[in-house]
Amino acid sequence: MSIMRSVERRMTRRRGAPYVIVDGCIECGMCERVCPYDAVFMANDLEYVVDGAKCPGCRRCLDPCPVGAIVPMDDPRATGVRGSNRPFLFAAWQQEPDQPDMSQHHPVTPGST
């Protein structure tokens, strides 16, 4: 496998959905302050955006956002991604085709392992 191929696979398969900033953001900057991966920054001194290529989808920014304006790319609300964030979308990201449905967690019970 070429290095490029390897990098491409790394970038598309080892991460959750990158986050995007949608309409309604109040530019409070909380998401930038809490991101450990330097994925959030202010573009053109005007609006915060998420660099999708850097965002591993850890969801650390989700709870702090006071207005719910930062959402994962695979969330229906991501269609409202604002214009300033569009150049930074990580188009190469895709879900694994064989991802299981994680909506039903297997309960962990003592002695079950």
- Measured distance CA(97)–CA(81) in Å, rounded: 24
76 binds another protein (CB under 8 A): no
Residue for token pair 């991604």: 81
Segment 9-68, which members bind another protein (CB under 8 A)? 9-11, 13-16, 30, 33-34, 36-38, 56-60, 63-64
- Measured distance CA(22)–CA(11) in Å, rounded: 23
Segment 93-112, which members bind another protein (CB under 8 A)? 96, 98-100, 102, 105-110
- Measured distance CA(98)–CA(95) in Å, rounded: 8
For another protein, the closer of residues 11 and 43 by Cβ is 11
For another protein, the closer of residues 83 and 99 by Cβ is 99
